Amino acid sequence: MRPSPIALVTGANRGIGREVCRQLAENRLRVLIGARDPAKGEAAALEMARGGFDVEAVALDVTDAASIQALGDKLGAVDVLINNAGVDYDTDQTPISADLARVRRTFEINLFGAWAMAQAVAPGMRRRRWGRIVNVSSGAGALASMGRGPPGYSASKAALNALTRLLAGELAGTGVLVNSVCPGWVSTDMGGRGGRLVQDGAASVVWAAMLPDDGPTGGFFRDGRPVAW
Ligand SMILES: NC(=O)c1ccc[n+]([C@@H]2O[C@H](COP(=O)([O-])OP(=O)(O)OC[C@H]3O[C@@H](n4cnc5c(N)ncnc54)[C@H](OP(=O)(O)O)[C@@H]3O)[C@@H](O)[C@H]2O)c1
């Protein structure tokens, strides 16, 4: 691990992303809390700062190029990117009935948002020859077990997994590790009730951020164990 690495977490004002921030800060990273509503980001940052953690809220909508660019020099300094922002577990749709405008919107966030963020931070990581990119995916995006399921969400997470492979391929040998992680079924606004604790889901994600330099890249993991693509 580099001395005092800087992490940026997208969609970090609530749910898994917020807890990922807390756990990264606990691991002595400086954490940028990305939130599209600045007030919600500030509230999360205030609570964590009270716990003595080194955190800062940043306004960030991953679908808005201007919002990403507004982060300016901060982007070049990011050592650990957690592409956590995700939406629309669309169990109310089927592939045949799906509203494609809605599916496109899902792809804008779950795939293109993560892609744009990787493009924004990867050059700095490559220059410093150290970095971690974690794409928060889902078992729903695993082609190996895909059948019935939320269509827009599943297809977007399968595409996110493809992005993981492609980025890992381009960054192979540069010291930048890129992996997909499933947090498991977690009780959040998205996951609803009955899932596991947000602390456990977040720990599954943080594992990939804290990988040693000889750790895996281009993989898909849950709780540190490989998941079939
Ligand atoms: N919960 C589960 O069981 C589960 C299982 C597998 C995978 N996952 C994945 O884990 C990740 C986090 O899920 P969660 O359960 O914590 O969801 P959540 O509680 O619904 O939180 C989603 C977060 O994404 C943010 N977001 C949405 N659109 C955004 C955008 N355009 N730009 C920036 N941020 C945006 C939301 O911000 P606002 O507050 O502004 O809406 C919120 O902070 C997602 O990628 C999800 O697909 C979750």
Ligand 1 atom 23: residue of nearest CA: 11
pLDDT value at position 184?
98
129 lies in some domain: yes
Is 89 catalytic? The answer is no
Q: Cβ atoms within 10 A of the Cβ of 223, count? A: 14
64 lies in some domain: yes
1 lies in some domain: no
For the chain, the domain total comes to 1
Q: What is the mean pLDDT of residues 139-147?
A: 97
The finding on whether 11 has its CB within 6 A of some atom of ligand 1 is yes
Mutate to test the pocket of ligand 1, among 13, 188, 197, 220 (most ligand atoms within 8 A of CB): 188
Mean pLDDT rounded to a whole number for the chain: 97
pLDDT tens digits, one per residue of 77-100: 999 999 999 999 999 999 999 999
Q: How far is CA 32 from CA 16, 140, 163, 217, in A?
A: 15, 28, 23, 23
Range of the domain at 207: 6-226
pLDDT tens digits, one per residue of 159-212: 999 999 999 999 999 999 999 999 999 999 999 999 999 999 999 999 999 999
The finding on whether 62 has its CB within 6 A of some atom of ligand 1 is yes
186 lies in some domain: yes
pLDDT tens digits, one per residue of 50-74: 999 999 999 999 999 999 999 999 9
pLDDT value at position 4?
79
Beta-bridge mates of residue 81? 8, 133
CATH of the domain at 150: 3.40.50.720
pTM higher than the cut 0.85 = yes
pLDDT value at position 2?
61
Is 140:91 a contact under the CB 8 Å cutoff? Answer: no
155 lies in some domain: yes
71 lies in some domain: yes
Give distance in angstroms: CA of 61 to centre of ligand 1.
Answer: 12
Q: What is the mean pLDDT of residues 29-33?
A: 98
The finding on whether 136 has its CB within 6 A of some atom of ligand 1 is yes
Q: What is the full DSSP assignment across the chain?
A: --SS-EEEESS-SSHHHHHHHHHHHHTT-EEEEEESSHHHHHHHHHHHHHTT--EEEEE--TT-HHHHHTTTHHHHT-SEEEE-------TT--TTT--HHHHHHHHIIIIIIHHHHHHHHHHHHHHHT-EEEEEE--GGG-GGG-SSS-HHHHHHHHHHHHHHHHHHHHHTTTTEEEEEE---SB-STTT-TTSB-HHHHHHHHHHHHS--TT---S-EEETTEE---
| C-alpha closest to that of 208 among 219, 198, 196 | 219
Active-site choice (89, 130, 153, 207):
153
158 lies in some domain: yes
Q: What is the mean pLDDT of residues 122-142?
A: 98
The finding on whether 18 has its CB within 6 A of some atom of ligand 1 is no
pLDDT value at position 3?
67
Q: What is the mean pLDDT of residues 106-119?
A: 98
124 lies in some domain: yes
Instruction: Take residue 45 and report the two structure tokens written for it.
Output: 């940052």
- Burial of residue 196 (CB within 10 Å: 0-12, 13-18, 19+) is middle
